[in-house]
Amino acid sequence: MVRIAIGSDHAGFRLKEAVKSRLAEQGIETIDVGTDGEASVDYPDYAAAVAGKVTSGAVDRGILVCGTGIGMAIAANKVRGIRAALATDVESARLSRTHNDANVLTLGARITPPDLALDMVQVFLDTPFAGGRHQRRIDKISALESEGGTRAPR
Ligand code: RB5
């Protein structure tokens, strides 16, 4: 059973709740790091909380929701070991798993209709990483992290 951490800012709160309900219907328990309402908060705080759950191994995958999904993706990808993918269509959600082994999905509640977001979550959770040549590329991403992100092509 896949373990999920979920978080949002105020803009993503309602969609976060919808995703949580859908997962609960399937018997999938989520660790909800907040936020707990529509009062204005700062999305990096929630990105950091979900990213921490993923990198510590407390959960297998993370889901983050803000207005566009962009801020959550930028923030989560600052955390070593996180591969956060912003998806706005089902095929991108699928490919984020098969090609990129994404461990966090970010969603834009002001961009993506709830039904589409729920479909993307389903595909994100159901799709395995393809490995093979894609693993080599993931290894290169990890190498960039361990070099502190300072290597630039010459
Ligand atoms: C909040 O107004 C908004 O900036 C935030 O939800 C997100 O869209 C940032 O990327």
Burial of 136 (0-12, 13-18, 19+ CB in 10 A): exposed
Residue 151 has a pLDDT of 54
Residue 66 has a pLDDT of 98
Could you confirm whether 134 is annotated as catalytic? no
- pTM for the full predicted model: 0.96
What residue has token string 């600052």? 78
Question: Cα–chain-centroid distance for residue 108?
Answer: 11
Could you read off the pLDDT of 99-135 as tens digits, one per residue?
A: 999 999 999 999 999 999 999 999 999 999 999 999 9
Could you read off the pLDDT of 72-101 as tens digits, one per residue?
A: 999 999 999 999 999 999 999 999 999 999
User: Which residues line the pocket of ligand 1, CB cutoff 6 A?
Assistant: 9, 11, 43, 66-68, 70-71
Q: How far apart, in Å, do the first and last CA atoms of the chain sit?
A: 45
Ligand 1 centroid–CA 71 distance in Å is: 6
Q: How confident is the model at residue 154 (pLDDT cuts 50, 70, 90)?
A: low
Could you confirm whether 10 is annotated as catalytic? no
Residue 147 has a pLDDT of 77
Q: What is the DSSP letter of 111?
A: T
